[in-house]
Structure 1
Amino acid sequence: MDTDTTRLSSEELLEIISLANKAIAVYTGKDIIIETATDAMLRFWDVGREVIGKPLEEAVPILKDQEFINILRNVWRTGQTYMGEETPAFLTRDGKLQQFYYDFEYRAVLNPDGSTRCILHTAKDVTEQVLAHQRESNLQTELKAINEELISTNEELAAANEELAASNEEMAASNEELLSTNEELNEANYNLGESESRFRNMITQAPVAIAMFTGANLVIEAANERVLNIWGRTDDIIGMPIADALPELQGQDFLQLLNDTFNTGKEYYGSEAVTNTMHDGQLYHGYYDFIYHPLKNSDGVVYAILMIATEVTEQVNSRKRLQESKNRLASMVMTAPVAMTVLKGRDLVVELANQHMFEIWGRTPGQVINKKLLDVFPELIGQPFPDMLKGVFDTGKKFALPEISVDVSTAMGMVNYIVDFSYDPLFDMEGNVEAIMATVMDITERVSSRRELQQARDTLKLAIESADIGTWSADLETGKLTFSDQALRLQSIPVDANITLDESYRLILPEYVIPVQDSIQRSIDTHESFEVEYRITPMDGSSPRWLRSTGQAYYNDSGKALSIAGTMLDITESKAHDQQKDDFISIASHELKTPVTSLKAALQLLDRMKDNPSPGMMARLIEQSNRSMDKISSLIEDLLNLSRMNEGQLQLSKTTFDIVKLIDDCCSHVRATGKHVILQTGENYLEVFADEHRIDQVVVNLVNNAVKYAPNSKEITLNVDKTDGRVKVSVVDNGPGIPADKQARLFDRYYQTDPSGYNNSGLGLGLFISAEIIKKHHGQIGVNSSLGKGSTFWFTLPIK
């Protein structure tokens, strides 16, 4: 049986992660070094595997001016996981700068001591989803506008058709009357003067445009007001040839048609003829139905032409607009990013459908177009959709439902979709519903994503609550503030207190009020989120706290900011830690400068006397140089140990050794000065299993502290006791002692006591490193001290 239980190394795990199909990356260090990344993540960045091992900012420079690097550094610093939804990011793809949207998570993986070991970055490209949402919104707006335009156009066309029908009836009646009159003139031999008078009166009073042209020159013999309006002229033109009266007709067909009618005696009918006439100096483009009727004498010779015309410009334009709307509708349906179809008549014949609809149907155009919907999809019978379609025909009103389930039979079997759909009525010229435009959006994946998002939000809420993050929101019109329970606790605000945004500024220390207000106003003006750090005095009067607040403004459709909301986090400890780091840098610089300056001075003196050495001076300078180098080495060793602990790399090399002998050997440097007496008490021989070098480092540090902080204590006692399977080593001095309020922090990183009158050099790391070494040995470390009675620093180790 295979019993190989070898665990995978870190390098092997990183290599396995890099094979994943999802976008994953792992970073380490405050510079965000890329330890590994999957091919999917490298494609997002548009880089190759040569970036592994480089800082993310160097590997993907386009991210330098975006927020992601700062967020990662904050996650590394705080150990707090960060998540983003549909977050815009500018990345190069195929050499071009493009905008994408991502759902992502920066998860901090922590060491046992709570420090950040690495950051796990997972990401999902949701660009298509975001753009689809935007396109859907734009399409709905356009569909609504087009449908309203269609309704208006249909109403206009219906009215125009009614007017055209009435005009045609009037023109037909007038024509019959004119023909009857003409026949009467030819047959009855009335008095010419009386007949001519009656004829002219009839033309003048006719409800349609009428004119009469006489002779081969087509002189305008008579013209009523309606025809003069069509021509854009007054009755001054009566008696003029039509070609002179309306010169703009040159090049159009009408003059030729009049000549043909006069010469042939054949009546001519024109339908929707295009005419260009001058109206007040402007060329007017109109459409007309007209008749050129020849008038003949008793010999059958044409002596005049009677013109009867009706303007149909509005009807033609309405029909063109209707056709344009239909064409635009067809184009919109075919190019729409969502599924659309047009169902004609109550039989629901599929007149038009786009490719997205065919994909949902699982059919080809030949299987569906010009066929009844329910014949092609009998499975819809019994589902609610046929009755909904019938209701649109009956009421003429749009019908829509969100997130409804529909079953469609495809070649792969019955498929269930979750869809948003709307049924929009399309009207004919009489205002009756002649077809229905169905818009279907397959939101199956979106609903699933929303459910996953809701789960993620619930998880985020739990994470926020567990991370002690407070949330807040402010109504910008009323100024009312709403806080979560944690936000109330952070500010010590009573649960039943009502507080406004302006009142909350009173809790903020005066020097931070304006920066906070400016951050909020800038966020409102720029539509960008804000992050600001400030100090407050809690409402209960307790010690001031540092808070970090983030927020984002929210707007109405007009772009007016209505509210602002965000999070609130207590960063008092983080700020204190930052201050400690700043103090440490200052101390380290000072501590390193002193021995370096001393070493430099010694070397300069040695260099000057190299040609004429003085044995005594050279010995002192060499001794001074060695002391400086020992000091520098000690400081560097402290820094290296701190770095190893931060990275979890402080390794132990355990052996069995006599700890009493180690104590006897490790303090020779103190005995050599002659200023202190080292006394050893307790056990004479005691073996332990530990890292001898590290334990020596701890003992030397405790003894050096006794020498430094108790310089007047002549005796320093080192005691070794054995009890309950553990060894206890104590370093006792008779110095001034340590105040009780400082004892609890002695083993903190960078902490230094500052007893007046004593040289307090060093980085403040000695006791911290000693404590970490003892903890790694599963031991304990502590101090017992009283003012004026000296101090006892001790640690314990398991014997085995």
Structure 2
Amino acid sequence: MNHVVSNSHSAMELFAAPGNAVGIVIINADGSIELLDCEALTGESYTEAELAALHIRQLLPILTPARLTNILGQSKGTEISFQQTPFQLKNENSLPVDLSVRVINPGTRHHLLVTAKHTVHSSNFQHSHSSKVHYQQILKQAPFGITILTGENFVVEMANDAYLSIAHREASKFVGRPLFEGMPEVRETVEPLLQAVLKTGVPYHGVEFPVPLTRSGKTELSYFDFLYYPLREPDGTISNIIVTVTDVTENIKAKHTLSESERQFRNLFIESPIAMAIFRGPEWVIEMGNERMHKEFWRRTEAETIGKKLLTVFPELVDQEYPAVLEQVYKTGVAAGMKEALVLIKASDGMRKFYVDYHY
């Protein structure tokens, strides 16, 4: 079992420990690079122009597009590791590294956090207090919320601007204090999850996870995609948890609004006194048909019609005018209709003749 150590290093010190050189890369799902800091690992840096033109496979050939797709398809929170794989240098040489790759904010836009570790101790890879500050600056620029929690009280060691914005907290009143002093309203929901990560060392991944959060003096249920990931000391003990978070509340509200609108539309559609149907695609697959359409005109059950092609269910329509009109409407997007049009529909009770006003 992993234990918390009271004299733990800060998370930044773990990143910057001598002989434990680390490179950090945040990449998009397509392999383009959002953030890169490999100077401590390789002694190299990149300009903005170089970074914009760079794909992750140019640095780490093992991360092919197919492999990135595979990683994104793993269960949430899964960490993928690669041992002794080459990190390409500008001079065309390479450096053997151990890689850790994990999804850190799934949702509308995926990001992958890649850490590359080289354990050779040399003067080229020495770190100092300035390295610690440098890593903090890199994390502060991330486009999603990041905070690092230390010890059993989950003291906030750092929180980037995106995290502070999500939480509606000021750094001066939040950083350096236990998390639940600064955000007491989340304790009941969040503390059991953090305790489990601290004790077991198993990351926890939340997707569209509901958390009550007080913002601008008002506590509301908000929704987040997040990852709680344990950071280990050189001896394997866990002293810190890195948190990455994306606020997806507006997405969830939009989903709920859309679902409610769809529910209301469906009710109006089904209960309409006018016979109505919805066809999908160029083969006019029957997506919906209301009660009057099924009972009075089609004389069929939903099981006999929904999800089936219109002309498969009603082959007698092939020689009538309606397929040609439907095709014209589908191709041009221009509505069409007619009054007192004759239509013949066959069912178990035989062929019946209707005169209808229709509108496509």
Where on the TM-score scale, by shorter chain, does this alignment land: which range?
0.5 to 0.7
What is the RMSD computed on CA atoms of the aligned residues?
Answer: 2.6
For 1:381 and 1:167, how far apart are their aligned partners in 2? 43
Following superposition of structure 1 onto structure 2, how do residues 399-478 of structure 1 map, counting pairs within 5 Å?
Answer: 399-423=336-360
Going from structure 1 to structure 2, the CA distance change for 1:389 and 1:234 (only over 3 Å counts) comes to farther
For 1:184 and 1:198, how far apart are their aligned partners in 2? 18
Query: What is aligned with 2:109?
Result: 168
Matched, 1:268 2:204: yes
For 1:397 and 1:302, how far apart are their aligned partners in 2? 65
Query: What is aligned with 1:336?
Result: 272
1:288 to 224, 227, 236: 224
Query: What is aligned with 2:293?
Result: 357
Matched, 1:203 2:139: yes
Which structure has more helix as a fraction of its residues? 1
Whether the 8 Å contact between 2:207 and 2:224 is mirrored in structure 1 is yes
For 2:192 and 2:121, how far apart are their aligned partners in 1? 31
Q: Deviations over 1:374-420 (max 9, x none)?
A: 11211111323223333444345554444433222244543332222
For 1:166 and 1:290, how far apart are their aligned partners in 2? 10
Structure 2: which amino acid aligns with 1:246? M
Query: What is aligned with 1:259?
Result: 195
Going from structure 1 to structure 2, the CA distance change for 1:240 and 1:184 (only over 3 Å counts) comes to farther
Determine helix, strand or coil for the equivalent of 2:109. Answer: helix
1:284 positional shift: 3.3
Structure 2: which amino acid aligns with 1:240? R
Structure 1: which amino acid aligns with 2:352? V
Determine helix, strand or coil for the equivalent of 1:198. Answer: helix
Structure 2: which amino acid aligns with 1:414? M
Query: What is aligned with 2:245?
Result: 309
Going from structure 1 to structure 2, the CA distance change for 1:327 and 1:216 (only over 3 Å counts) comes to same
Q: Give aligned-pair identity as a percent.
A: 31
Query: What is aligned with 1:218?
Result: 154
How many residue pairs get aligned? The number is 252
Query: What is aligned with 2:326?
Result: 389
For 2:251 and 2:334, how far apart are their aligned partners in 1? 26
1:229 positional shift: 1.3
Query: What is aligned with 2:86?
Result: none
1:279 positional shift: 1.2
Query: What is aligned with 2:182?
Result: 245
Following superposition of structure 1 onto structure 2, how do residues 109-188 of structure 1 map, counting pairs within 5 Å?
Answer: 168-169=109-110, 171-172=111-112, 175-176=113-114, 179-180=115-116, 183=117
Going from structure 1 to structure 2, the CA distance change for 1:412 and 1:264 (only over 3 Å counts) comes to closer
Whether the 8 Å contact between 2:339 and 2:357 is mirrored in structure 1 is yes
For 1:225 and 1:415, how far apart are their aligned partners in 2? 70
Structure 1: which amino acid aligns with 2:322? F
Q: Deviations over 1:116-173 (max 9, x none)?
A: xxxxxxxxxxxxxxxxxxxxxxxxxxxxxxxxxxxxxxxxxxxxxxxx989633x32x
Whether the 8 Å contact between 1:273 and 1:287 is mirrored in structure 2 is yes
1:291 positional shift: 0.9
Determine helix, strand or coil for the equivalent of 2:320. Answer: coil
Whether the 8 Å contact between 2:342 and 2:353 is mirrored in structure 1 is yes
Whether the 8 Å contact between 1:185 and 1:195 is mirrored in structure 2 is no
Query: What is aligned with 1:370?
Result: 307
For 1:373 and 1:400, how far apart are their aligned partners in 2? 18
Going from structure 1 to structure 2, the CA distance change for 1:241 and 1:263 (only over 3 Å counts) comes to same
Structure 1: which amino acid aligns with 2:256? K
Going from structure 1 to structure 2, the CA distance change for 1:323 and 1:401 (only over 3 Å counts) comes to farther
Determine helix, strand or coil for the equivalent of 2:185. Answer: helix
For 1:232 and 1:205, how far apart are their aligned partners in 2? 17
Query: What TM-score do the two structures reach when normalised by structure 2?
Result: 0.63
Query: What is aligned with 1:323?
Result: 259
1:229 to 165, 168, 190: 165
Query: What TM-score do the two structures reach when normalised by structure 1?
Result: 0.30
Whether the 8 Å contact between 1:186 and 1:298 is mirrored in structure 2 is no
For 2:211 and 2:311, how far apart are their aligned partners in 1? 49
Which structure has more strand as a fraction of its residues? 2
Gaps of 5+ in 1: 1-163, 424-800
Q: Deviations over 1:30-80 (max 9, x none)?
A: xxxxxxxxxxxxxxxxxxxxxxxxxxxxxxxxxxxxxxxxxxxxxxxxxxx
Going from structure 1 to structure 2, the CA distance change for 1:390 and 1:240 (only over 3 Å counts) comes to farther
Structure 2: which amino acid aligns with 1:389? L
Going from structure 1 to structure 2, the CA distance change for 1:399 and 1:261 (only over 3 Å counts) comes to farther
Structure 1: which amino acid aligns with 2:196? D
| Larger-gyration structure (1/2) | 1
Whether the 8 Å contact between 1:167 and 1:208 is mirrored in structure 2 is no
